Amino acid sequence: MGGEWYNEDFNFDNVVNSMITLFVAMTTEGWVETMWAGVDAHEIDLMPKKNNATIYVNYFIFFMTFQALIILNLFVGVVIDSNSREKEKLLNNNKLTPLQEEYVDIITNCLAAKPSLPYISTGKKLQDSLHAFANGLCFERIITGCIIINTIFMAMPYIGMSEGYGEVLEFTNSLFTTIYIFEAILLIYVDWRNYFADEWRRFDFFIVVVAVLGLVVKYSVRIEIAPITIIIRSFRIMRVLKMVKQFKSLRKIFNTFILALPTLTQVGSLLVLLLVIYSVLGMSLFANVKQR
């Protein structure tokens, strides 16, 4: 019929080819095409059949998940752990007993901690009552619920949505912005010293300021400056980070990530160095290759 049989560039015909195919898949480059080629594969000397064996999808997904989440992280973990051990040796901390290391960590955390300033009653019953309400569990749960609902609404826009649907979403955004403004005003009114002394509340205040700027640009100026509007709307996503402040477990994970940033920066610097080395080597090898 004038046709020609050809094999896929990446295949599983033998162990060597299989290893090369999986190695390329580990880079996440074109692994989806390889997966569907495996799904469409039929018997020997027969043309591929679309969705011939969809169960093979599980093989590729399991492999990508395993190598991406486990194998790669193991290598990164080993590098970070080795870096931490070498750092301990340089500081002579490796000579401390486990109990002494724990004591040093406690003292370090105590020195880094910033205790809240004591609340000084002004004698005004209204302000004292508002302070008790603003720092109570009920108010915290109300704000947490608002953050969760606001996050859900921020995930609801889609391409092609109707004008009425978009207006409802914009109204909910303005409503939640008003709630956050009220929260900031209330907390500043009852105890402004502790409000601006707390890092998370300063972050909340920054989000509120950006939200107010967004409302001013939208309703007062009534002009659509594309770059400014996009930037201000993008800051809405930062509201999701308010969830970190509300939940202690998320806060611990976030703080752990922040503490690990210096080590991750060193590992990233090593990767950049390797990239520069191979870039220079690549220019030396291929810069003068002539076009055919």
Question: What is the per-residue pLDDT for 234?
Answer: 66
Contacts of 83 (CB under 8 A, 6+ apart): 263, 266, 267
**Spatial CA neighbour of 93 closest among 228, 78, 241, 84:** 84
**The pLDDT of residue 4 is above 80:** no
Question: What is the per-residue pLDDT for 233?
Answer: 63
Listed in order, strand segments (DSSP E) in 184-257 are none
Lowest average pLDDT, out of 21-30, 56-65, 88-97, 193-202, goes to: 88-97
Question: What is the per-residue pLDDT for 267?
Answer: 73
Q: What is the residue type of 163?
A: E
Question: What is the per-residue pLDDT for 281?
Answer: 83
Tell me: the pLDDT tens digits for 209-267?
A: 887 877 777 666 555 555 555 666 666 677 677 777 767 777 777 777 777 777 777 77
Contact 180, 207 (CB under 8 A): yes
Q: What letter would DSSP give residue 116? A: P
Tell me: the pLDDT tens digits for 72-127?
A: 677 777 777 776 777 767 766 667 777 877 787 788 777 766 666 676 776 777 77
Question: What is the per-residue pLDDT for 188?
Answer: 87
Question: What is the per-residue pLDDT for 289?
Answer: 64
The better pLDDT of the pair 203, 234 is held by 203
Tokens 């998940």 sit at which residue? 65
Distance CA 179, CA 242 (A): 13
Distance CA 205, CA 185 (A): 9
Distance CA 179, CA 237 (A): 16
Question: What is the per-residue pLDDT for 8?
Answer: 77
